[in-house]
Amino acid sequence: MRAATTALLISSLALGLAGCKDKTPQSSTELGQGGSMVSGSAGPKGAQGADASLVKCDSPVATLALAENPDGYTMSSHYQLPASPVPLIKLLAQQSGCFRVVDRAAGLRNTMQESQLKEAGIVRADSTVHKGKGYEAQYTIIPSLTFSEQDAGRGIAGVIGSIPVLRDIAGLAGLLEQVKLKEAQVALLLTDNETTEQLAAATGSARTTDLGLGGLVISKLGGGAGLGWSNTNEGKVIAAAFLDAHNKLVAQVRQLQAKSLPPAVATK
């Protein structure tokens, strides 16, 4: 059975590579195309353009802050993260409707700056920025990441000799050596800021096959804008892994007793 599956995979790859060889490159720009599984927007209209697999809550249980991992993000390959994963997870958390997200990064610094400008008399005295109006973060999520890349091409190319129909295709072995299995493994840790207790944790993972030819990828990694995570296949796999971890975390969050929430922002 395994030999038949391997032969089928190699045949599919061969057809894909042959199809790419003679096509004339074309260039175009399509808004909303490409990207990763973490896509769309969140706000007063709710989750827009979110991946169909995103797990949601009927109502938020608390306010939430996202924090950078103080230990950084460990990767077992030479690839660098396309960006911090925190903005990516903020979008997931807000789209899910499980939390109301508060900013403890650049947004908070800008709020403090506006308050200082008001005290200095630079901005109007009746501005909309007032002391004591900020919402507390009742929970904090900290992400972690381990990313690994495995070179599967050499192993696949090594079995070509046992398949006559593929063995005679010129250059196929060399092309298949470019095939790589890309895998991401991540974790999300949820802490209660009142008690400091870690109340929930979830891991997530994703894997894709990268043919190494012009970004051709065999996987379910399509979608809209990915907050900088759509430039590389590595970024797409990491984004998918965080989506997987988020969905598992939501199953735990649904069991938490809802905390007292601040009044919702008025909308039209």
Q: What residues make up the domain containing 131? A: 108-136
Judge if 81 and 211 occupy the same domain: yes
Which of 103-107, 228-232, 243-247 shows the lowest mean pLDDT across its residues? Answer: 228-232
Judge if 51 and 89 occupy the same domain: yes
**What average pLDDT does range 83-108 have in this prediction?**
92
Nearest to 235 by CA among 219, 249, 251: 219
- For residue 72, the model assigns a pLDDT of 81
When divided into structural domains, the chain yields a total of 2
Nearest to 96 by CA among 247, 261, 266: 247
Average pLDDT, the chain: 75
Establish if 97 belongs to a structural domain: yes
Q: In DSSP terms, which residues pair with 207 in a beta bridge? A: 183
Establish if 142 belongs to a structural domain: yes
Q: In DSSP terms, which residues pair with 41 in a beta bridge? A: 48
**What average pLDDT does range 147-167 have in this prediction?**
54
Q: What is the DSSP code string of 37-102? A: SS-SB-STT--BS--TT----SS--EEEEE---TT--EESSS---SS-SHHHHHHHHHHHTSEEE-
Percent of the chain with pLDDT over 90: 37
Judge if 119 and 192 occupy the same domain: no
Q: CB-side exposure of 244: number of CA atoms within 13 Å?
A: 19
Q: In DSSP terms, which residues pair with 202 in a beta bridge? A: 188
What whole-number distance in Å separates Cα of residue 153 and Cα of residue 149? 12
What tens digit of pLDDT does each residue of 9-33 get?
Answer: 555 555 555 555 455 555 554 544 5
First-to-last alpha carbon distance for the chain, in angstroms, is 60
Sequence letter at residue 52: A
Whether residue 22 contacts residue 245, with contact meaning beta carbons closer than 8 Å, is answered with no
Judge if 10 and 132 occupy the same domain: no
Which of 87-96, 97-106, 123-132 shows the lowest mean pLDDT across its residues? Answer: 123-132
pTM of the model: 0.71
Judge if 6 and 87 occupy the same domain: yes
Judge if 244 and 118 occupy the same domain: no
Here the tokens at position 242 are: 């965080």
**Tell me, what DSSP letter sits at residue 65?**
E
Judge if 232 and 130 occupy the same domain: no
Judge if 89 and 198 occupy the same domain: yes
Judge if 68 and 186 occupy the same domain: yes
Judge if 114 and 245 occupy the same domain: no
Here the tokens at position 102 are: 């508060």
Judge if 119 and 199 occupy the same domain: no
3-class state of residue 158 by DSSP: helix
Judge if 142 and 112 occupy the same domain: no
Place of tokens 């030999």: 3
Q: CB-side exposure of 213: number of CA atoms within 13 Å?
A: 20
Measured in whole angstroms, the distance separating CA 149 from the mean position of its chain's CA atoms is 17
The length of the chain, given as a count of residues: 268
Q: In DSSP terms, which residues pair with 143 in a beta bridge? A: 188
